[in-house]
Amino acid sequence: MAEAPDDEFSPETFSGTFESNIQPFFVLHKALARKVEKKAPAASAGKARRKIDLSPAKLRHCEGIEGGCGDGENERCMERLRMEAFDSVWSKIESTIQDVLKKFNVNLFDDIFQWVCESFEAINVCQTSRHVKANRSYPIITDAASKKISIGLVLTKNLDFVDDLLTFRDLGVHLKSHGCHVANLSSLDFSAKAGIGGCLKIMLRQFLMISSDAADISVLAAWYSEQGLSKPMVIIIDDMERCCGSVLADFILTLSEWVLKLPIVLVVGVSTTIDSARKLLPSNVLQYFSPSKFMLGSPAEKMDAIVEAVLVKQCSGFNIDYKVAAFMRSYFLRQDGTLTSFIRALKIACVQHFSRQLISKGLSTLFLVEDTLGMPFDMRSPLPEAMLKNKVVERTGEKFSHALAESTRRKNYWSSVLLCLHEAGKSDNIQLLDLFCEALDPEFHKFVASDKNTNLERELGAKMSSDYCVYPQSFKKNGFIRQAVNSVRDLHETQLSQILENWERHTADLDEINEKVKELRSIISDEGKGSLQESINASRRITSRSNLNMGKETANEKAASLIKSLVREYMRPFEELHCFENADNLQSALIGDPRRQIQVDLLDVQKILKCNCCSKKGTILLPTMHDTSILYTLAQEHGDLINLHDWYHSFKTIINPVVNEKNKKKKSGTPKKRKARDEEPASISEATIQARFCRAVTELQITGLLRMPSKRRPDYLQRVAFGL
């Protein structure tokens, strides 16, 4: 999981995470990063797919060009303010996310620790009853049932395990702080190349903190007996599926020879299903396990927690509008599905917001004002010197702060109602992100605004199967808000009171709503008591049961109508002064589409290289152009298959026009001839041309645009993946 988005962007983590699986992307990315700097920054700053340069220098560079018209002094001041604004906002978001995720996992971590302790106890009992000597080389002779390795399978519930790298690191830290010896092994350590020796070596290094020459498990035994034999040893492997099965099997079999002598407990991440263990490991390994299952929260739950803390509850004052929210939602659901990428998107949005979204320069200061204002409504908190100088702030003054306060107040109401809706929808697995998107939807607002006093209630209450085609789009069958409202009707009594309790908690700061909720709650609890009393009195009579049902019915209706009225009243559209709304920019920054970009860039290479020699000529191929670019442009003339011979010859004619000139002497004018002679004093030798050709073809192959000739057609190359 991505607690520290900071780390995500650091090259270390990237190389660690992605090195193995997206080597081609890495190549592409490197090339792109260079291009980005050369291109006009406003258009392409975000094109790099994997790494977004967030260094201050970069931002300054962007803005310097963008707002080039302003006078230098003011400009620099603005820049600094923007940076400050971004820093303060993002650090808030970041720390909020970290807190949320930490809270999210803490129960599971405690669970795991408890289980580790139990397993250790069990091993200890066996040990003492059998006088185990850890340093002996021969295995303990006992019955097979007690020769088990405790293994905790942590289901991460996400195909991509990027989010959980940090979870397992945190788990390691957590267990260490509770006094276990911990080794955090990555799945990459279990590679077929390094074999069993590789992972043993890394394990020893993690436990012993010194590197020993031999990766021998008896070293571990010696070390452990020096440590006093009092703590469990936990080995954490982050993702089992990515391990090489045979190496992992060897590793576990080796451990099994030391079982009882070394109290080793395994914690293994499983990203898909428990069955994958069965697929990966042979049965003679599996039978050594005494497994336990642990569930991490699903990504959707984590996402809800983050959305609640960051976007709904407004930890920072950074908002996104409907389009952006919808994009981020669809990106999460359809594209990447990792929190890491969601947080990355959020960060990019934040960067873009502060760097180029602000047309009015005062808005960044506005942010700072709101920041200081947002928490305790304290206008008199010391503002940065530079900001006080700023005219915008002076001009707006008190009025402005009032407007802001009002906006914050409304936003608070909005958030609380949304959270209440989420609370109601939880039983139907409606996610906060969905509700959030729908609530931001202008269609929804329009709808609420248009007939808020007429038939909203009826429509909201209408069953899903009924004629929804009449209603506006947002109330079609995917209307999450309506679903949530509806679900209130079908709740059990206990669930309902639970929800009301939560509503009360959510609306604690907002007296108006809180009153209503409390009122309803007291009514319901009275009713509940009454009906309970009744049912006790008239113990097995049908009438009492129907009475009870009636009571429940009405209570549910009341709750539903309350939430409906809340939606109607507080979920009004409110004009966001400062929210990020450029979804397209975010998209290009986040996705980048490197493959297409590479093809585009190869086709007009002048735009990027900006050399003097070939910029004038436009699209005509010149010998001074980059070989790869020439070849790729030539390849456009062919179809799927490229005849190697033809291709080579057209390449040759372009980079070595001298050959050409013998034929074209009469046709071509002198200037070209002269020019060619200027640039290519001596005609290039055949060998050089071939070498250059080969290199260019290889480069195209590496970028994944070409496939080498097959045996069946040795003289044809194949173009790969156009348009992708």
Partner 1 sequence: MDTQKSPRRTTRLSASSTNHPEAAVVYNSHLTLDDLVFGDETISSDELLATLAGRRRQTLELLCHIGPLNSPMLPLFVYGGAATGKTSTVLQVFKHLNRPFVYSSCRTCYNPKILFESVLNQLMLHTRSSTNRYSSFKRCEKPSDFVNFLKEALVTVVKNLKENLSKKGSKKSGEHAKGSMVYLIFDNLELVREWDKSSTMLSFLFRLYHILNMTEVGVIFVSNASPDVYYSNAGSMDLFPLHFPDYSEDELRTIFMKSQGNSKLYSSFLGIVLKPYSRVTRRIDELSTAFLPLFQKYCEPLKDSGTALNEELKRKLFTHLQPHISSSLNEVFHAPTHSGGNFLMDKEKLRRKNSSKRLGATERVDEMDFHMSASAKYLLISAFLASRNPATLDASLFDSTGGTDSRKKRRKMSEKTKEMKENAEQELLLKGPGTFPLERLLAIFQCITSMSEDSLNEDQDEDIGFEVGGDSRLMADVLLQLSSLCNANFISKGGSCPLESSTRYRSLVSEDMTLKVARSLNFPLSKYLYRR
463-482: contacts with partner 1 (CB under 8 A): 465, 473-474, 476-478
Cβ proximity to partner 1: between 596 and 617 the closer is: 596
Binding mask 86-105 for partner 1 (x = CB under 8 A): --------------------
Phi, then psi, of 703 in degrees rounded to 5: -75, -5
CB of 586 to partner 1, least distance (A): 11
Q: Is 16 in the site for partner 1 (CB under 8 A)?
A: no
Q: Which amino acid is at 570?
A: Y
Residue in the block written with tokens 């400062």: 578
Task: Report whether 97 contacts 306 (CB < 8 A).
Answer: yes
CB of 534 to partner 1, least distance (A): 26
Q: Which residues in 526-565 contact partner 1 (CB under 8 A)?
A: none
Q: Which residues in 331-370 contact partner 1 (CB under 8 A)?
A: 332-337
Residue in the block written with tokens 């407007």: 403
Cβ proximity to partner 1: between 322 and 354 the closer is: 322
CB of 222 to partner 1, least distance (A): 4
Per CB under 8 A, the list member of 10, 360, 429, 688 interacting with partner 1 is: 429
Q: Which residues in 242-271 contact partner 1 (CB under 8 A)?
A: 242, 250, 253-254, 257-258, 271
Q: Is 159 in the site for partner 1 (CB under 8 A)?
A: yes
Cβ proximity to partner 1: between 191 and 401 the closer is: 191
Q: Is 25 in the site for partner 1 (CB under 8 A)?
A: yes
CB of 160 to partner 1, least distance (A): 5
Per CB under 8 A, the list member of 40, 56, 125, 139 interacting with partner 1 is: 139
Cβ proximity to partner 1: between 499 and 655 the closer is: 499
Q: Which residues in 662-721 contact partner 1 (CB under 8 A)?
A: 701-702, 707-708, 710, 718, 720-721
Per CB under 8 A, the list member of 81, 100, 217, 260 interacting with partner 1 is: 217
∠ CA 470-474-475, nearest 5°, is 50
Structure-token pair, residue 493: 């009594």
Per CB under 8 A, the list member of 77, 117, 219, 392 interacting with partner 1 is: 219
Handedness of CA 641, 646, 652, 655 (dihedral sign): negative
Cβ proximity to partner 1: between 689 and 717 the closer is: 717
Q: Which residues in 295-314 contact partner 1 (CB under 8 A)?
A: 295, 298-300
Cβ proximity to partner 1: between 47 and 521 the closer is: 47
Query: From CA 641, how far away is CA 553, in angstroms rounded?
Result: 70
Cβ proximity to partner 1: between 91 and 287 the closer is: 287
Per CB under 8 A, the list member of 387, 437, 496, 571 interacting with partner 1 is: 437
Q: Is 329 in the site for partner 1 (CB under 8 A)?
A: yes
What b/e sequence results for 455-486 when a residue is b if at least 16 CB atoms lie within 10 Å of its CB, and e otherwise?
ebbebbbbeeeeebeebbebbeeebbbbbbbb
Query: From CA 140, how far away is CA 127, in angstroms rounded?
Result: 10
∠ CA 717-719-721, nearest 5°, is 150
∠ CA 49-54-57, nearest 5°, is 130
Q: Which amino acid is at 37?
A: E
Residue in the block written with tokens 């604690």: 508
Q: What is the DSSP string of 331-395?
A: IIIII---HHHHHHHHHHHHHHIIIII-SSTHHHHHHHHHHHHHTT--TTSPPPHHHHH-HHHHH
Cβ proximity to partner 1: between 160 and 661 the closer is: 160
CB of 145 to partner 1, least distance (A): 5
CB of 619 to partner 1, least distance (A): 24
Structure-token pair, residue 348: 């990019």
Per CB under 8 A, the list member of 226, 398, 575, 678 interacting with partner 1 is: 226
Q: Report CA-CA distances (Å) from 208 to 113, 255, 260.
A: 21, 17, 20
Q: Is 327 in the site for partner 1 (CB under 8 A)?
A: yes
CB of 304 to partner 1, least distance (A): 13
Cβ proximity to partner 1: between 179 and 197 the closer is: 197
Per CB under 8 A, the list member of 88, 96, 191, 276 interacting with partner 1 is: 276
The piece of 149-157, 312-320, 508-516, 605-613 that touches partner 1 (CB under 8 A) is 149-157
Cβ proximity to partner 1: between 494 and 539 the closer is: 494
Q: Which residues in 558-597 contact partner 1 (CB under 8 A)?
A: 583-584, 587, 591-593, 596
Query: Strand, coil or helix: what is 296?
Result: coil
Facing residues of 363 across strands? none
Q: Is 22 in the site for partner 1 (CB under 8 A)?
A: yes
Q: Report CA-CA distances (Å) from 372 to 240, 369, 402, 631.
A: 47, 5, 14, 58
From the number of C-beta atoms within 10 Å of its C-beta (0-12, 13-18, 19+), residue 11 rates as exposed
Handedness of CA 13, 16, 18, 23 (dihedral sign): positive
Cβ proximity to partner 1: between 50 and 652 the closer is: 50
Q: Is 21 in the site for partner 1 (CB under 8 A)?
A: yes
| 162 contact partners, CB below 8 Å, separation of at least 6 | 2, 17, 338, 340
Cβ proximity to partner 1: between 267 and 555 the closer is: 267
What SS3 string covers 583-621? HHHHHHHHCCCHHHHHHHHHHCCHHHHCCHHHHCCCCCC
Per CB under 8 A, the list member of 10, 23, 360, 546 interacting with partner 1 is: 23
Q: Which residues in 177-216 contact partner 1 (CB under 8 A)?
A: 196-197, 208, 210, 212-214, 216
Q: Is 278 in the site for partner 1 (CB under 8 A)?
A: yes
Query: Strand, coil or helix: what is 293?
Result: strand
Structure-token pair, residue 253: 């079999």
CB of 10 to partner 1, least distance (A): 19
CA 660, distance to chain mean position in Å, is: 55
CB of 9 to partner 1, least distance (A): 17
| Of the candidates 285, 374, 306, the residue with the CA atom closest to the CA atom of residue 98 | 306
Cβ proximity to partner 1: between 471 and 516 the closer is: 471
Q: Which amino acid is at 673?
A: K
Query: From CA 375, how far away is CA 405, in angstroms rounded?
Result: 11
Query: From CA 563, how far away is CA 516, in angstroms rounded?
Result: 10
Q: Is 292 in the site for partner 1 (CB under 8 A)?
A: yes
Cβ proximity to partner 1: between 86 and 113 the closer is: 113
Count of chain residues binding partner 1 (CB under 8 A): 121
